[in-house]
Every structure is written in C-alpha cells, then in structure tokens.
C-alpha cells in the first residue's frame, strides 16, 4: 500500500468511468503544478529516455525525499505529478522500496500509455530511485 495521497489518487481513478476521464485528470494534475524555472532546465536535470523533454529536480531534506519536475508535453507533466504523488514527502530510505510498476498499474497506466511514454515513465522512475539510492 502506498502513501495516503497516492491512495486518494487510486480512489479517484476508480471513481472515473473511463480512460479518457482519467487521462484528462492526469493532464489537469500536470497543469496544477508550478512550472520549473528555466535556470533548472539544464542537462544535469534532464531525463534521458523520454520522447518529450523532461526535467526532474530532487531534494532531500531531513531524510525526506521531494522533487519538482516539468516537461514540454502536458501528459508528461501529468505523469510527473502522478510520480510526485507516489514519491514526494516519503522517507528517502523508502523510495527504492516503492514498487512503481505495481503502484502505477493500480491506476491502469500500463495499459494506456504508448511504448514511448512508458519508456519515459520508466526513465523518470529510474532517475528518482538512483537519486534516493545515492543519498
């Protein structure tokens, strides 16, 4: 079982009747995020392996993992928001224990993303896990 915020997202997805409604919800989550400043859109924060441009800026403070992110594609911004719901505000020691594939599967994302988007999502999860493991 994931954190309470992610459980709320799972409940929301169960309430939504079809994938189009869920897709719109993911996009709306991305629209609600603050944009990343241009100064943080640098090669060091860029995630390779994504069809769209993606930047993730993780921070670890007092043992708690957080990150900010952005993308030039609205659906990818939404996927970043989903990952923030799954990972942010978690103890850094727990980040590598989260089974992202299983948790995101509860949302049905595995069945509805293109191969490129799925690869990008895996690349973002890998970056998050690498950052946490290095800490």
| pLDDT value, residue 2 | 66
This prediction has a pTM of: 0.94
CATH of domain 4-134: 3.90.1010.10
Among residues 29, 36, 47, 50, which one is catalytic?
A: 50
Domain ranges of the chain: 4-134
115 burial (CB, 10 Å; 0-12 / 13-18 / 19+) is exposed
Give 38-59 pLDDT, tens digit per residue: 999 999 999 998 889 999 999 9
Give 87-130 pLDDT, tens digit per residue: 999 999 999 999 998 999 999 877 888 888 889 999 999 999 99
> For 34-38, 78-82, 107-111, which range has the lowest pLDDT when averaged over its residues?
107-111
> What span, in angstroms and rounded, lies between the C-alpha atoms of 15 and 25?
11
Question: Would residue 69 show up in a list of annotated catalytic residues for this protein?
Answer: no
């Amino acid at each position: 079982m994931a954190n309470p915020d992610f459980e709320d997202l799972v409940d929301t997805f169960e309430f939504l009747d079809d994938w189009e409604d869920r897709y719109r919800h993911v996009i709306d989550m991305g629209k609600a995020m603050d944009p990343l400043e241009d100064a943080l859109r640098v090669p060091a924060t860029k995630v390779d392996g994504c069809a769209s441009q993606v930047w993730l800026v993780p921070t670890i403070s007092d043992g708690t993992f957080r990150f900010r992110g952005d993308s030039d594609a609205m659906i990818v911004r939404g996927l970043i928001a989903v990952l923030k719901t799954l990972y942010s505000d978690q103890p850094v020691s727990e980040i590598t224990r989260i089974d992202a594939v299983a948790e995101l599967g509860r949302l049905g994302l595995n069945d509805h993303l293109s191969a490129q988007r799925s690869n990008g999502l895996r690349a973002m999860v890998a970056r998050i896990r690498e950052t946490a493991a290095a800490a």
